[in-house]
A and B are shown apart, each in its own frame.
Chain A
Amino acid sequence: GAGVSQTPSNKVTEKGKYVELRCDPISGHTALYWYRQSLGQGPEFLIYFQGTGAADDSGLPNDRFFAVRPEGSVSTLKIQRTERGDSAVYLCASSLTPMRGEGSYNEQFFGPGTRLTVL
């Protein structure tokens, strides 16, 4: 079955350029999450969408990072004026609904990631 897909799988860019990374969640999943994973580290939360709105963007490192999900399905992570320190694998995950504090966990399904290299 179709899982979470991310494009491109690899992106090489130059310092100062703008990049967009795309995530296609599993059909029908209302919650969508972006993470960043540096070499040898665990994923680091960036932002979470419930439907079209960003419910928690506390993980975005600075205002160069922005994400949208205009129709509540596909999401795009946008990075302006890229820096070498932005090089990482950017992971997207989706879940059927967000996990509620008192409810059962709705498993997050991860995509394969986009490897971003900033030269």
Chain B
Amino acid sequence: GESVGLHLPTLSVQEGDNSIINCAYSNSASDYFIWYKQESGKGPQFIIDIRSNMDKRQGQRVTVLLNKTVKHLSLQIAATQPGDSAVYFCAENTASGGSYIPTFGRGTSLIVHP
């Protein structure tokens, strides 16, 4: 079975509720942030991004908030649906070799109950 410490933080919500997933990042020099969704057996999927010169960005049903003072990101999902059930990762990005290289956080498991 799984060992203690391998269990992800979990957020359990009812269908239709709003969800908020939080993430702390470590590098104050990071200037680009991305939220990813990962379903079981699949690779991460891009959801929304935000640059460090912004504090809020909205997409379809999702909003990302960035607080650089405390190095904190949040992902808000409106009217959460069962299909939103997945593990969500934030990633801070640093420029290297002509690209941005992401450093992923540990992830939060979102469970949406019908």
Contact = CB atoms under 8 A, between A and B. Distances in A.
Interface of A: 4, 31, 39-45, 48, 50, 55-56, 58-59, 91, 93, 95, 98-101, 105, 107-108, 110-113
Contact of B43 (A44, A95, A107, A112): A112
A84 to B, nearest CB: 15
Interface size class of B (residues with CB under 8 A): 20 to 34
Interface stretch (B63-71, B75-83, B99-107): B99-107
Q: Is the interface of A mostly helix, strand, loop or mixed?
A: loop
6 contacts: A41-B104, A43-B44, A45-B102, A99-B32, A111-B43, A112-B43
B54 interface: no
Interface of B: 2, 5-8, 32, 34, 41-46, 49, 89, 91, 93, 95-107
A56 B104 contact: no
